[in-house]
Amino acid sequence: MTATVRPPTAHPVTRAAGRVFKARETGILIALILVILVATVRNPSFLFSSDGFRDLLLTPSLLMLVAVGQAIVIITRNVDLSVGSILGLTAYLTGRLFIDVPGIPLIVVFLAGMGFGAILGLINGALVAFAKVPALVITLGTLYIYRGINVAWTGSDRINASDLPADFRGLGTGQLLGIPILTIIAAIVLVVAAWYLRNLRSGREFYAIGSDPAAAHLYGLRVTRRILTAFIVSGVLSGLAGVLYAARYGTVSSGAGTGWELQAIGAAVIGGVAISGGVGSVWGAAIGAYLLLTINRALPILGIEDFWQRAVVGALIIGAIVLDRLLALRQSRKLLEAREDAQ
């Protein structure tokens, strides 16, 4: 009477290869490589000079950290608009620690920055998880609050590069085997996050909560705890990015990190993380971050004023979500057809 639909069987290698090729991440990786190729053809020092190679890897690694945290939050069907303000606050905290506590060990500063980011993220997460208020509104409020606290604390001061110890600043420009240290740190974080989300049950639960929060709740998943974790992780990564920002740029003013939240969300969306949750990976968000900032650097080389960068980003975001929607429609149509064929 009822026939079950068998999934199409194909050779495992073909299937795996197909999955890799069809993955969104591959698509934007190809786009990134294309952009780098075109820019390098125009001006070989884009890639091949030591400065060029270093800057190519270095500048986007800060955004990558923030984008990874943002991706984790978006996967749970929330959004975190306060990451830019958290970054600014922790960057200033880093500078203040170095000035007020001379001789403080670097690792303490790192832990303090990440811990502070965790607390700020916890506030966000608690309000979203317990008060059941949409994350958009809460993080909108905390964006204002944290930025206001940052500006009030900074006053008209700023942290100057000369206030920071030389070995800390060396982190910002130093290299290990030709790869900048900041990029290595960001890459390690990325690998750990990706492994956690894919291989640990608690990581997979983020996807479940994002796909259907009501079903996840009924199924017995600890939704509150996972949402808290997602926001804390986002806060920690933004805090870490703030510490590294101070290392990279040396000067921290009260406006540090402004606008980074939209760049991070853009990077995640372009990288395949759907705004409605449950889909995407942190690899995509990372490649998206690199793509965004590399386009920024490539535009002047191609003769386009870099004023148009934001327009390009906007077009990419819209293109990405339209593509997602078309693919989802096609997928559901294929499944419907398969069901009808089986009957």
Q: Under DSSP, is residue 176 helix (H, G, I), strand (E, B) or coil?
A: strand
Residue 309 interacts with another protein (CB under 8 A): yes or no = yes
DSSP string, 318-330: HHHHHHHHHHHHH
Interacting residue with another protein among 109, 227, 247, 317 (CB under 8 A):
317
Q: How many residues does the chain have?
A: 343
Candidates 10, 8, 3, 65; CA nearest to 248 is 65
Instruction: Between 287 and 317, name the residue whose CB sits nearer to another protein.
Output: 317
Interacting residue with another protein among 276, 333, 336, 338 (CB under 8 A):
276
Residues of the chain by 3-state class (helix, strand, coil), percent to 5: 80, 0, 20
Residue 46 interacts with another protein (CB under 8 A): yes or no = yes
Residue 195 interacts with another protein (CB under 8 A): yes or no = no
Max CA distance (Å), the chain: 79
Which range touches another protein (CB under 8 A), out of 3-11, 204-212, 214-222, 309-317?
A: 309-317
If phi > 0 it is left, if psi is from -120 to 50 it is alpha, else beta; for residue 259 that is: left
Which range touches another protein (CB under 8 A), out of 104-112, 127-135, 189-197, 210-218?
A: 127-135
Instruction: Between 33 and 304, name the residue whose CB sits nearer to another protein.
Output: 304
Distance CA 159, CA 10 (A): 60
On whether the CB atoms of residues 78 and 135 are closer than 8 A, the answer is yes
Residue 325 interacts with another protein (CB under 8 A): yes or no = yes
On whether the CB atoms of residues 288 and 267 are closer than 8 A, the answer is yes
Which range touches another protein (CB under 8 A), out of 16-24, 95-103, 147-155, 213-221?
A: 147-155
Interacting residue with another protein among 23, 99, 224, 249 (CB under 8 A):
249
By CB under 8 A, the count of residues binding another protein is 71
- Site residues (CB under 8 A) for another protein, limited to 60-119: 79
As measured in angstroms, the least distance from the Cβ of 325 to another protein is: 6
On whether the CB atoms of residues 282 and 194 are closer than 8 A, the answer is yes
As measured in angstroms, the least distance from the Cβ of 194 to another protein is: 23
As measured in angstroms, the least distance from the Cβ of 126 to another protein is: 10
Distance CA 292, CA 280 (A): 18
Which range touches another protein (CB under 8 A), out of 16-24, 94-102, 229-237, 321-329?
A: 321-329
- Site residues (CB under 8 A) for another protein, limited to 50-69: 50-52, 55, 59
Distance CA 207, CA 193 (A): 14
Residue 306 interacts with another protein (CB under 8 A): yes or no = yes
Instruction: Between 97 and 140, name the residue whose CB sits nearer to another protein.
Output: 140
- Site residues (CB under 8 A) for another protein, limited to 2-21: none
User: Which is it for strands 175-176 and 179-180: parallel, antiparallel or unpaired?
Assistant: antiparallel
Which range touches another protein (CB under 8 A), out of 25-33, 184-192, 210-218, 304-312?
A: 304-312
Distance CA 86, CA 256 (A): 10
Residue 311 interacts with another protein (CB under 8 A): yes or no = yes
Residue 122 interacts with another protein (CB under 8 A): yes or no = no
Count of other CB atoms within 10 angstroms of residue 280? 26
On whether the CB atoms of residues 317 and 270 are closer than 8 A, the answer is yes
Instruction: Between 183 and 203, name the residue whose CB sits nearer to another protein.
Output: 183
Instruction: Between 94 and 154, name the residue whose CB sits nearer to another protein.
Output: 154
Q: Where are the beta strands (DSSP E) in the chain?
A: 175-176, 179-180
Instruction: Between 136 and 191, name the residue whose CB sits nearer to another protein.
Output: 136
Distance CA 245, CA 250 (A): 8
- Site residues (CB under 8 A) for another protein, limited to 153-192: 154-158, 160-162, 173
Interacting residue with another protein among 21, 103, 220, 305 (CB under 8 A):
305
